[in-house]
Amino acid sequence: MSTSQRNIYLVIGGSGFLGRHIVQDLLKRGDSVAVFDIVQRYDDVPFYSGDISDEVQVSQALQRSGATCIIHTASPPHGVEDPALYWKVNVEGTKAVIAAAVANKITKLVYTSSAGVVFNGADLVDVDERLPPPEKPMDAYNESKAKAEELVLAANGQGGLLTVALRPAGIFGPGDRQAVAGIAKVLEEGKAHFQIGDNTNLFDWTYVGNVSHAHILAADQLVPPSDEEIKARAELLSVALPS
Residues that bind ligand NAD (CB under 6 A): 13, 15-19, 37-39, 51-53, 73-77, 89, 93, 112, 114, 145, 168, 170-171, 178-179
CB of residue 105 to ligand NAD, shortest distance in Å? 22
| Nearest position to ligand NAD, beta carbon | 16
CB 118 within 8 A of CB 169: no
Comparing CB distances to ligand NAD, the nearer of 8 and 88 is: 88
CB of residue 203 to ligand NAD, shortest distance in Å? 11
Smallest CA-to-CA distance from 61 within 16, 91, 106, 26 is with 106
Q: Give the DSSP H or E segment for 72.
A: strand 69-72
Comparing CB distances to ligand NAD, the nearer of 114 and 163 is: 114
Amino acid at 9: Y
CB 172 within 8 A of CB 102: no
Catalytic pick among 88, 95, 108, 145: 145
Which alpha helices (H) appear in 29-127, and where do they start and end?
55-65, 84-86, 94-103
Q: Helix, strand, coil shares of the chain as percentages rounded to 5? A: 45, 15, 40
Interatomic CA distance for residues 41 and 241, integer angstroms:
52
CB of residue 234 to ligand NAD, shortest distance in Å? 35
Q: Is 95 a catalytic residue?
A: no
Interatomic CA distance for residues 219 and 3, integer angstroms:
10
Interatomic CA distance for residues 96 and 57, integer angstroms:
10
Comparing CB distances to ligand NAD, the nearer of 176 and 220 is: 176
Comparing CB distances to ligand NAD, the nearer of 59 and 112 is: 112
| Enzyme catalytic residues | 145
